[in-house]
Amino acid sequence: MARTASDNPLDLPVQVRFTAAGTPLAVRYDGRIWAVAAEPVRWFTRADWWSTATRAPVGCGNLVSVEHWQVQVRLTSTSELRTFELRRDPLSEQWLLAAITDAGAVAA
C-alpha cells in the first residue's frame, strides 16, 4: 500500500550523498543505495519552535527552518522509481526518511 502525505511520517534515519552543488545524489536506506533518478525538489517548512523547550545560544543561526527534499530514486537503471521525502531538522545533521509515496512502498 502506498503512503500519502497525510500519513504519520516514517522518520527513519538515512544517509544522503550530495553533489558538490548540494543536490541529493543517492540515499542509503534499508541497507541499499538508492540513486536519485530525476531532478529533486527542495522546500522548507517552519518548526513549531513555540512548543519546544529547546534554547539556543545567540548567533547559532536559523533554528526554525526544516529542510525537505523530494527525490525519485531507484536501485538499478531498470528498477521502478520510488519517491522518497527526506527531512532534516534545523538542529540536526541527521536526515530522516519521512515518507515513501509509491505503489511499491510498505505502509508503516
DSSP string, 8-33: PP--EEEEEEE-TTS-EEEEEETTEE
d(CA 57, CA 59): 6
Residue closest to 45 by CA, chosen among 78, 88, 100, 83: 88
Q: Residue-wise pLDDT tens for the chain (108 aa)?
A: 344 444 577 999 999 999 999 999 999 999 999 999 999 999 999 877 666 656 666 766 666 889 999 999 999 999 999 999 999 988 789 999 999 987 544 443
Residue 27 contacts residue 73 (beta carbons within 8 Å):
yes
> Distances in Å between the alpha carbon of 21 and those of 15, 18, 85?
17, 8, 20
What is the pTM (predicted TM-score) of this model? Answer: 0.78
